Amino acid sequence: MDIFNYADELKYGSIHLKADQETGLRAIVAVHNLKFGPGIGGCRFIEYESSDAAITDAMRLARGMTYKAAISGLPHGGGKAVIMRPKGLTEEGRAKLFARYGEFVDSLGGIYITCEDSGTSVNDMNIVKQHTNHVLGYDPASGSSGDPSPLTAYGVRRGIEAAAKHQFGRDNLEGLKVSIQGVGSVGYYLAKELHALGAELIVTDINPASVKRCEDEFGAKAVGADAIYDVDCDIFAPCALGSILNDQTIGRLKCDVVAGASNNQLAQDRHGEALRARGILYAPDYAINAGGLMNVAQEFAGYDLDAVRERVHGIYDTMLHIFERAAKEELPTHLVADKIVEEKLYS
């Protein structure tokens, strides 16, 4: 892949690289768009096959953060950090690595604000906080918002309610069958929200303990990881991996709605059209799962849980607008969501 061609394709701002031999830090910060404010997005800390794969991931995810912030009306652009996780890292080594990462973020002068993501923790952000003020999602005892998972799940629940209204003409979820793929963090809180509203749950997860917790607490039915695509249900909620809506899975789905928390659910744009062709309503991921971003972004104004919940509550209206406009324009919902964002960014 040619990085500059990819940057042009995604209408990119800047990409920053940091290599540190002492700690083993190999970090990429991608800053996609700053029209509405500094780029905000998590720091992903996982193993990558190559630096090209890491850079591509950072660029793709940062663009997604731009779109998520814009469709949510937040005063931020999109950014993302990726750290290539070294093998055999000790706890002491990890602390030194994140200290150096904090210095890297600080050197960017505030154009990017980092926070927790896959593979990182509140403790990692506490270390970063010692070296830069451009960080969110650290220890709540120090004034941060902490774990965003419950509010992300609340937003997804509101989006599911909007989908039920549009697709089924229903104002409640009582008795609807919802299959959830991934119940480790956001998926667990989503299951809790849906159970409280009377939904019937079918769940899967690679961690048996997470599945059992949902069985015990919510009376959920468990299925195998691959069998989740064949579940006969009303709503399928992907809350784990990306690219799970693809040529192999879409034909197997037996649902009327796909609405979940995971990022980049469509393997390719054409898979959004494939869902529409099957009459399946798709809730664009970056719009429905924006609750976590809303949560950390609120820290800039002084954290207020009531204010955050009010903003997250509005995801219902955002999703309903997307669904209604898509129906009117006879377009897939993910293209309509993109149009709404691009009208804001490039008009």
| Residue of 218, 272, 219, 215 whose CA lies nearest to 243 | 272
Burial state string for 310-322 with b = 16 or more CB within 10 A and e = fewer than 16: ebbeebbebbbbb
Where in the chain do CATH 3.40.50.10860 domains reside? Answer: 3-142
Instruction: Say which CATH topology domain 3-142 has.
Output: Rossmann fold (3.40.50)
To the question of pTM greater than 0.85 for the whole model, the response is yes
Confidence at residue 57, expressed as pLDDT on a 0 to 100 scale: 92
- Is 260 annotated to bind ligand? no
CB of 207 closer than 8 Å to CB of 228: no
Can you tell me the distance from the alpha carbon of 312 to that of 75, in angstroms, rounded to the nearest whole number? 15
- Is 203 annotated to bind ligand? no
Can you tell me the distance from the alpha carbon of 192 to that of 203, in angstroms, rounded to the nearest whole number? 12
> Does the annotation count 80 as an active-site position?
yes
- Is 183 annotated to bind ligand? yes
- Measure CA 1 to chain center: 25
**DSSP helix/strand/coil, 290:** coil
Q: What's the CA angle centered on 322, arms 79 and 72, to 5 degrees? A: 35
Confidence at residue 150, expressed as pLDDT on a 0 to 100 scale: 94
Q: Check 11, 35, 68, 80 and give the catalytic one.
A: 80
Can you tell me the distance from the alpha carbon of 126 to that of 11, in angstroms, rounded to the nearest whole number? 33
- Is 186 annotated to bind ligand? yes
Can you tell me the distance from the alpha carbon of 251 to that of 275, in angstroms, rounded to the nearest whole number? 9
Confidence at residue 242, expressed as pLDDT on a 0 to 100 scale: 86
Confidence at residue 263, expressed as pLDDT on a 0 to 100 scale: 87
Confidence at residue 278, expressed as pLDDT on a 0 to 100 scale: 98
Confidence at residue 99, expressed as pLDDT on a 0 to 100 scale: 98
| CATH number for the domain running over 149-346 | 3.40.50.720
Confidence at residue 165, expressed as pLDDT on a 0 to 100 scale: 98
Where in the chain do CATH 3.40.50.720 domains reside? Answer: 149-346
Low-confidence ranges of the chain (pLDDT < 70): none
- Is 24 annotated to bind ligand? no
Residue with tokens 């609405």: 259
Confidence at residue 173, expressed as pLDDT on a 0 to 100 scale: 98
Residue with tokens 């079918």: 202
